Amino acid sequence: MNSTEFRKHAHDFVDWMADYLETVEKLPVRSREEPGTLLAKLPEHAPEQGEAMEDIFRDFQELIMPGITHWQHPAFFGYFPANNSEASILAEMLTAALGVQGMVWETSPAATELEERVMDWLREMIGLPEDFSGVIQDSASTSTLVAILTAREKKSQYRVNREGFQERRFTVYFSEEAHSSVEKGAKIAGIGADNCRSIAVDDAFAMRPAALEAAILEDKKAGFIPLCVIGACGTTGSTALDPLAAIADIAREHELWFHVDAAYAGSAAILPELRWIQAGAEKADSYVFNPHKWLFTNFDCSAFFVRDREALTKTFAIHPEYLKTGHDAVVNNYRDWGIQLGRRFRALKLWFVLRSFGREGLQTRLRHHLGLARQFRDELAGWPEIEIMAPAPLALVCFRFVPEGASEEACNHFNKALEQKVNDSGRALITHTTLRGRYTLRAVFGQTHVDRSHIKQLLALLREVYQSLQKAYTINESDDEHK
Ligand SMILES: *Cc1c(COP(=O)(O)O)cnc(C)c1O
C-alpha cells in the first residue's frame, strides 16, 4: 500500500470509527451469531495474492461486525466494563504507527520514561505512598501472577528460580470470593491448587480476618510456609471490600507478602470520598488495578505497583549479552518487571487519557456512574419482587427477582431465564454471579457514555421481561398443581 492509499483509508476508517461510536447505541448489545457462523464464512486458507483494502474493509463490516458484542454500547451493563474513550483510541492509532517494542529503555527511551511518569501520576491519584513503583502489565491476572512469583522468590531468597521448589511447601490465601485469576496465578507459580486456602467471608462477602489468621497458624503448625495473601478491593461478584488494614497486620505479623487485587474498584480511589475503600492498601507489598476497566483507557492497560522493586526485578531479570546497554544502571528496563520481554507502548494511551480528561474530568465521570448506580438501586429496591443481594459500595448492583411463593430453585431458574431474555432483546446486556448459591443478576454502570436515559430503559426492560416471564411462570405453576 502506498502512502496516498494509506492516507485515504485511514481517513475513511476514522470516519467509520466516529460513526460507530455515535451510533453504537442502535445496535443490539450482544452479538446474535450462533457458534460457527463466522468460521463457515471464512476461507480455510490464507490468500495467495494480496487483496484490495476495499474488499477487506467490506468483509470487516459484513462478516466481522455481526459477531461483535458491543462493549462500548451505553447499555452494556455486564461483567465489568472495558471502556474506552476518544483520547485513548487516538493514542492507540499513534502507537500502532510507531510500532515500538519497549522491552528496554534503549529500544525507545520515551516509551520507558513516559511509563515511569504516568505510573507515578496514577499512584498519586489513587493515594498510594511514594515508595511504590509502578509498571504497566497486560492484565490483572498477569499482575497477580507477577506478585505471587515475586513473593515466592523473595521468601526463598531467590532460590526457587534456581533450584526449583525442593522441599518448600508454600501456601497462598484469598477469600472465597476472590477472582479466579488468583488461584490460576498460584497454580502457574507452582504453588498448587491444593495449597491455596479459600478463606471464609462475612455477610457482606468480605474476607474474615480471624479465619485468615487461623488458617495461617494451622498451616504453620503443619509445616507449610505461608507465602502470600491476596486481599480483594472490590470482588468481581459483588464488589465486596476485604478489610485490607486487618489483613495487612496479619500479613506483617506472619511475614506474608500482601497483594491487593483492586482490578475494577481501584479506579474509584481517585475520588477522595471513596479513598476509604482501600484503607490498608498503603501497607501492601503490591497492588493492581485496571485503567482498562473503569478509567477510559482501552484494553489492555493494567497498573501494577510494588513496594520492593528490587525483589521484583531480581525475580524477573535476564542478562543476555545482546540486550546489554550502557544505561542499565540508571534507567528502568521494563523487561525485568514482568513476564514478557517484548512490550507494547501502552503508556501513551494512558497519558492521552489522563491529560485529556484531567483528574477532575475523570472524577466527574466516575461520580456520574456512581450516581446512576445509586439511582438504579434505589428505584429497584422499591419493587416488591426485588431482593438486593449485596451492599453496593460502587457502581455495581447485585439483585434478583423473587416471584411470590417461588422456591429457591425456582427462583434461580427464573432469574436465569430473565437474564437470557433481557440479553436476547439486544436492548441491554447484564450478567450474573452466584452469591451463597443464589443466582444473582449484576448490572454495572461504567460505560463512557452511559446516561440516565439508559437506566430508565433498563428498568423498563426489566419490568417488561419480568411481567412476561411471570405470566408464563404462573401458568406453569398452576399446570403443575393439576398434575
Ligand atoms: C476483572 C478482574 C480481574 C481480572 O482482570 P484481567 O485484567 O482481565 O486479568 C481480576 N480480579 C478482579 C477482582 C477483577 O474484577
Write out pLDDT tens, residues 372-385.
Answer: 999 999 999 999 99
Distance 344 CA to ligand 1 centre (A): 20
| Ligand 1 contact via 261 beta carbon (within 6 Å) | yes
Please state the rounded mean pLDDT for residues 326-352. 92
Average pLDDT over residues 60-78: 98
Tell me the best of 136, 137, 239, 290 to mutate to test the pocket of ligand 1, counting ligand atoms within 8 Å of each CB and taking the most.
290
Question: Residue 320: pLDDT above 90?
Answer: no
φ, ψ of residue 104 to 5 degrees: the values are -135, 165
How far apart CA 340 and CA 318 sit, in angstroms, is 11
Q: State whether residue 198 is helix, strand or coil.
A: strand
Q: Ligand 1: does its nearest atom lie under 6 Å from the Cβ of 139?
A: yes
Closest Cα partner for 270 from 135, 394, 92, 373?
394
Ligand 1 nearest atom to the CA of residue 144, by list position: 10
**If pLDDT is split at 50, 70 and 90, which confidence band does 348 have?**
very high
Q: Is the CB of 427 under 6 A from ligand 1?
A: no
User: pLDDT tens digit string along 206-251?
Assistant: 999 999 999 999 999 999 999 999 999 999 999 999 999 999 999 9
pLDDT-derived band at 472 (thresholds 50, 70, 90) equals: confident
Q: How far is CA 251 from CA 112, 191, 258, 279, 446, in A?
A: 33, 18, 6, 15, 33
Q: List alpha helices for 264-381, DSSP H.
A: 291-294, 309-316, 347-381
The residue-averaged pLDDT of 310-323 equals 86
- Helix 408-424 with 452-482: angle, nearest 10 deg: 130
Rounded Cα gap, residues 92 and 297, in angstroms: 10
pLDDT tens-digit profile of 257-316? 999 999 999 999 999 999 999 999 999 999 999 999 999 999 999 999 999 999 999 999
Buried b / exposed e across 129-140, counting CB within 10 Å, b at 16+? eeebbbbbbbbb
Contact between 335 and 325 under an 8 Å Cβ cutoff? The reply is no
Q: What is the value of pTM for the model shown?
A: 0.95
**304 CB under 6 A from ligand 1?**
no
Q: Residue 390 has what DSSP assignment?
A: S
CA 83 to ligand 1 centroid distance, Å: 14
Share of the chain above pLDDT 70, in %: 97
Q: Is the CB of 137 under 6 A from ligand 1?
A: no
Number of Cβ within 10 Å of residue 244's Cβ equals 27
Q: Is 141 in the pocket of ligand 1 (CB under 6 A)?
A: yes
pLDDT band at 479 (very low <50, low <70, confident <90, very high): low
Q: How confident is the model at residue 334 (pLDDT cuts 50, 70, 90)?
A: very high
- Name which residue sits closest to atom 1 of ligand 1, judged by CA: 263
Q: Is the CB of 175 under 6 A from ligand 1?
A: no
Q: Helix 244-253 crosses helix 209-221 at what angle (to 10 degrees)?
A: 20
- The ligand 1 atom at the shortest distance from the C-alpha of residue 138 is 7
The mean of the pLDDT values for the chain is 95
In 3D space, the residue among 359, 362, 344, 345 whose CA is nearest the CA of residue 85 turns out to be 362
Spatial CA neighbour of 303 closest among 316, 317, 288, 313: 288
Count CB neighbours of 210 within 10 A.
13
**Predicted pLDDT at 482:** 47
Contact 179 CB / ligand 1 (< 6 Å) = yes
Q: What's the rounded mean pLDDT across residues 324-349?
A: 90
Pocket test for ligand 1, best of 83, 136, 137, 141 (most atoms within 8 A of CB): 141
Q: Which of 348, 349, 350, 324 is nearest to 336 (CA)?
A: 324
Give yes or no for residue 480 having a pLDDT over 60. Answer: no
Nearest CA to ligand 1 atom 2: 263
Residue 329's pLDDT is what?
77
- Please give the pLDDT value at position 342: 94
d(CA 445, CA 394): 9
pLDDT at residue 166 above 80?
yes
Query: CA-based diameter of the chain, in Å?
Result: 85
pLDDT of 483 reads: 43
What's the one-letter identity of residue 383? W
> pLDDT (tens digit, 9 = 90+) per residue, 138-163?
999 999 999 999 999 999 999 999 99
On the 0-12 / 13-18 / 19+ scale of CB atoms within 10 A, 106 is: middle
Q: Does ligand 1 have an atom closer than 6 angstroms to the CB of 290? A: yes
* Of 90, 101, 106, 39, the residue nearest 67 (C-alpha): 39
Cβ(377)–Cβ(397) below 8 Å = yes
pLDDT exceeds cutoff 60 at 108: yes
Residue among 297, 291, 298 nearest 265 (CA): 291
Tell me the CA–centroid distance for residue 335 and ligand 1, in Å: 22
